[in-house]
Amino acid sequence: MNNQSIVLFLMGPTAIGKSKLSLQIKKKFSQIELLSVDSKLIYKGLDIGTDKPLEKDLRENFYRLVNIIKPQDIYSAIDFYKDATQEIKNILKFGKIPLLVGGTMLYFKILLNGFAYLPPSNALIRNYIYKNICLEKKARLFDILKKIDPVSSKKIHINDVQRVLRAIEIFFVSGGQPRSQLIQSVHQKLPYRIFQFGLIPHNKNILYTKIVRRFYNMLDCGFEKEVFNLYKKKDLNLSFPSINSIGYKQMWLYIQNKCSYQEMIDNTIKSTFHLVKHQLTWLNRWKNITLIYDNQKDLLIEKIQKILQNKN
């Protein structure tokens, strides 16, 4: 394992078909091993709403970093970095090639650029902040961030409640050190040859139509029951990243009678559209990446084949 070892990245917006394509690539090239780069597929029990690959596909293809924690657990980007780098080492050790697949762009970014050490999440402090401050008004939460960490407050949007909450949590967990100071010490980047591919829509309207159909299919497959089973656990709430995610958050609010069924549908689809736009913005600004349209998947397979041939 050295800087001549090869690692493949496959990024793309939600619903574009990354998982299905990765399974095709895995079946075609026996030396490839799959590793998920998705902040929601890590959770056990979040299956329908995350469009998680079927259990049969997960088992047969050994999709790493899927179903590794409970919804009650807090899993940070740093946790992902540590787990992913270890899994990559494990794959390379056996002479295989890791194919990292997903749409959580922040995870890809820290693998490329390294990360700053931040203290692990503290559920007691996070829940205290959420219940005693966040529930009152997000503006008050943001005012606290401006006082304790003005630098971070200029980089985090007031509506990004999860990041605001995390920045405040870091301040208290670290004993009064602002997030903006802690992120100045960067840890190691991946020391491998990385080939990056981005799957993008050849027609955004077709992708948006697919997103709508996919969500209605989730509803038909029992998504409401899946979220209700999580709701009954009583040790989960919207402060947990697992629940405060697209689809789960909106269904949770519906179960709490805080919105109508149609509002739940409309808000989920709207949030998914916004996520896609955000992901595509990241991809269009990404360096050293080969962008491939979703109707040219064979081209991606050809490029991977050439990389593997050159390696051999």
**First-residue to last-residue Cα distance in the chain:** 15
C-alpha 244/C-alpha 242 separation (Å) is: 6
Is 116 annotated in some ligand binding site? no
Q: Any bridge partners for residue 193, and if so which?
A: 6
Is 13 annotated in some ligand binding site? yes
C-alpha 278/C-alpha 105 separation (Å) is: 10
C-alpha 308/C-alpha 20 separation (Å) is: 20
Is 5 annotated in some ligand binding site? no
C-alpha 245/C-alpha 267 separation (Å) is: 12
Cα-based distances in Å from 303 to 7, 17, 63, 79, 143: 14, 18, 22, 31, 50
User: Running DSSP on this structure, what letter comes out for residue 35?
Assistant: E
Which tokens is 292 given? 């491939």
Is 19 annotated in some ligand binding site? yes
Q: How many residues does the chain have?
A: 312
Is 85 annotated in some ligand binding site? no
Residue ranges with strand state E in the chain: 6-11, 32-36, 97-102, 193-200, 289-293
List, in sequence order, the alpha helices (H) in 174-286.
179-182, 204-220, 223-231, 248-255, 261-285
Report which of 85, 86, 92, 35 is spatially closest to residue 65, judged by C-alpha positions. Answer: 35
Is 16 annotated in some ligand binding site? yes
Q: Which residues are annotated as a binding site for substrate?
A: 14-19
Q: Which residues are annotated as a binding site?
A: 12-19
Q: Which residues are annotated as a binding site for ATP?
A: 12-19
